[in-house]
């Protein structure tokens, strides 16, 4: 863009970052992240169908700290995308559009995703 020195319309940088924006972006990132996780889901099933030896290779690979880290990230992504997805469905029905409600539900979804991920993994680890 040529800098003519003329005033530009306000852009992202002039706003205080709202929590609703964070959730919107996280919804996308977690969605795409889980799309990649879907590959691991399918490989898991295929390896289990291939037999005990092949499944064991997969199991050992996923037990590596990187694998566990990915699984925890996918669990968080799952709960966040699920919670925020329900938030979107409620919006689709026409409820919860007030700024205070949208902010509250954003914090609630984020909080619940963290809690549920912790509950899931405290038992597993």
Partner 1 sequence: MSLRTPLGRVLGHGSAKEGTAHFVSQRISALALVLLGGWFIVSMYLLESTAYLEVVRYIGRPLNSVLLSLLAVTVSYHSYLGVQVVVEDYVHAPGLKLLALIGSRFAHTLIAVASIYAVIRIGLIT
Report CA torsion sign: 105, 13, 29, 90: positive
**Alpha-helical segments (H) within 13-125:** 19-50, 52-63, 65-92, 99-124
Query: Of 6, 8, 13, 92, which lies in the binding site for partner 1, with binding defined by CB under 8 A?
Result: 92
Q: 């037999």: which residue's tokens?
A: 51
**With contacts defined by CB under 8 A, how many residues of the chain interact with partner 1?**
28
Q: Which two tokens stand for residue 21?
A: 């924006």
Site for partner 1 in 52-91 (CB under 8 A): 52, 55-56, 59, 75, 78-79, 82, 85-86, 88-89
Tell me if 2 contacts partner 1 by CB under 8 A: no
| Interaxial angle between packed helices 52-63 and 19-50, expressed in degrees from 0 to 180 and rounded to the nearest 10 | 150
| Minimum distance from residue 78 beta carbon to partner 1 (Å) | 6
CB 22 within 8 A of CB 30: no
Q: Which CB, 14 or 39, lies closer to partner 1?
A: 39
Residues that bind partner 1 (CB under 8 A): 28, 31-32, 34-35, 38-39, 41-42, 45-46, 48-49, 52, 55-56, 59, 75, 78-79, 82, 85-86, 88-89, 92, 120, 123
């Amino acid at each position: 863009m040529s800098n003519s020195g003329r005033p530009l319309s306000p852009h992202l940088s002039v706003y205080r970052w709202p929590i609703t924006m964070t959730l919107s972006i996280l919804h996308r990132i977690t969605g795409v992240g889980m799309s990649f996780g879907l590959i691991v889901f399918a490989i898991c099933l295929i390896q289990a169908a291939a037999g005990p030896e092949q499944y064991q290779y997969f199991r050992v690979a996923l037990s590596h700290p990187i694998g566990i880290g990915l699984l925890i990230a996918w669990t968080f992504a799952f709960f966040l995308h699920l919670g925020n997805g329900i938030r979107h469905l409620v919006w689709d029905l026409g409820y919860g559009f007030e700024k205070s409600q949208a902010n509250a539900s954003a914090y609630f979804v984020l909080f619940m995703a963290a809690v549920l991920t912790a509950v899931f993994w405290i038992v597993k680890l």
